[in-house]
Structure 1
């Protein structure tokens, strides 16, 4: 079983409920179990500011699904929850991104692991640090080390961790 971290984000149609539904859908995937769920955090949009604030979280799962198969399942869940891509970094009902998959490094047309820009996103690193601060990344840094860049983050806890 691979240990995988997935970022969740939503800013449309009851965002916290969108994340709750996604967590349940991921837990129902074959050969997959949800191990930890971070707190839900409110954050400002990364892209255009003329959209609602986001709710973000990170999950730790264990799965036997390969990275491409997991990506397919996550995109299916996004679509089932009404995901529409109107503009880059724009509003969405649900966004699911594979951050880390064991210690795998891979790059394909569809998928880059570790996530290509996770280290620069407070809405990823803060919830990841909550559930896996000692996690060593493929480059040798720990999540706790990355968290040092976000000590003064502007996010608020909307719902506490359920782990």
Structure 2
């Protein structure tokens, strides 16, 4: 039996520790995971921390990025890999939208809609987060967020408060392994 290959989009964030190194390490680990191929990461961007009360300019700033890949893993198996990588990088889940060493979200899983106690895809707030849309637009100028429209139009609507980290920070480019 041949496994179905599904395109996926990940979002990464970190505002504690070696933020960009942590994200790039996690991306390399995902790219090397059996069942994940054609991994391509965006440049990283810096963003003011978003809390339950709104943007917090006094909190440590976030580094964010996205990556697209193809996978033969089932959605929840992929989520397990993502959560294992988060834990290995010191992720603690003690406060909703709190500071973190690493956050990996699954934004899209092909054209599937998933909504259960562990996973919601497409990500329910991706369309209103410039820290997802901006690096995604850099990675794919023609990107479309299922159920919401073109990423360029979504970002234009909400505005872009992110800032580029630098021209040389492109992440793992693992094509056709």
Using the size of structure 2 for normalisation, the TM-score is 0.85
Distance in 2 (alpha carbons) for counterparts of 1:143 and 1:133: 8
Report what 2:17 is aligned to. 13
- 1:98 aligns to what SS in structure 2? strand
Using the size of structure 1 for normalisation, the TM-score is 0.92
Distance in 2 (alpha carbons) for counterparts of 1:93 and 1:35: 22
Distance in 1 (alpha carbons) for counterparts of 2:109 and 2:73: 10
Q: CA deviation at 1:130?
A: 1.3
Aligned residue-pair number = 162
Distance in 1 (alpha carbons) for counterparts of 2:6 and 2:153: 23
Question: What are the ranges of 5 or more consecutive residues in structure 1 without an aligned counterpart?
Answer: none
Q: In the alignment, which of 130, 133, 139 is matched to residue 122 of structure 1? A: 130
Distance in 2 (alpha carbons) for counterparts of 1:55 and 1:34: 23
Q: In the alignment, which of 133, 144, 150 is matched to residue 141 of structure 2? A: 133
RMSD after superposition:
1.6
Asked whether the 8 Å contact 1:36–1:59 carries over to 2, the reply is yes
Asked whether the 8 Å contact 2:127–2:145 carries over to 1, the reply is no
Question: What are the ranges of 5 or more consecutive residues in structure 2 without an aligned counterpart?
Answer: none
